[in-house]
Amino acid sequence: MDQIKKILAPSDLSELSELGVRYALNLAKAIEAEVTVYHVVDYDTLTRYGQRSAASSSFQPPDHHFLERYQKALSGFLMDHVADLSPSVKMREKVELGTPGKSIVELAKSEEYDLMVMSTHGKTGLRMTLGSVTEEVVRTGPCPVLSIRPHEVQRHTGPSNSVADGNT
């Protein structure tokens, strides 16, 4: 097995995705790898926040601060949820506009990640268990994908502890 040096941890900034990011950071700390926390702003979001020109019916993209706001949101998410791990792991943040599943797979290929760590919904049925984005990444990704289910994290850490305590 090749050594894991680069981990991609996609996040949609939800409470559920925090579990995957936290797990990726703990794993990276244990094996001295680096982590990229990656947030894809879906094109659908762009469409919702875009504007129609008054003079025509053509679509006008949002102002240039659009992705900047999402970068700040990702930084805030990480500060609020995994700041305890940040100093001990080499981590970078990346925000892009795209289609989540496709963008995650493309980034993993282009930057040659060794592993992706993603949270899952933990419900029944393959698509519901993995979620549609995770399912697409597992199916088409260029490297292994470790899917983290909420109850799996709880089982490993106990009901009141976090993964950060090293009980993974």
Question: Amino acid identity of 53?
Answer: S
What local confidence, expressed as pLDDT, does residue 44 receive?
Answer: 75
Tell the residue number behind the tokens 């470790």, with chain if given.
Answer: 146
The answer to whether the predicted template modeling score (pTM) of the entire model surpasses 0.75 is: yes
Query: What does the CA dihedral 144, 89, 2, 20 come to, rounded to 10 degrees?
Result: -10
- How far is 18 from 77, CA to CA, in rounded Å? 8
Condensed to tens digits (0 to 9), the pLDDT of residues 10-68 reads 999 999 899 999 999 999 999 999 999 999 998 776 666 554 444 545 555 555 678 89
User: pLDDT at position 71, please?
Assistant: 95
**pLDDT per residue over 106-154, tens digit each?**
999 999 999 999 988 655 444 444 468 888 999 999 999 999 987 655 4
β-strands 90-98, 145-148 pairing? unpaired
Quote the percentage of the chain above a pLDDT of 70.
Answer: 70
The pLDDT value recorded for residue 48 is 62
71-120: per-residue pLDDT in tens? 999 999 999 999 999 888 999 999 999 999 999 999 999 999 999 999 88
pLDDT confidence of 160, banded at 50, 70, 90? very low
Q: According to the model, what pLDDT value does residue 162 have?
A: 39
- Rounded to an integer, what is the distance from CA 126 to the centroid of its chain? 19
Determine the Cα–Cα distance for residues 47 and 35; give it in Å rounded to an integer: 30
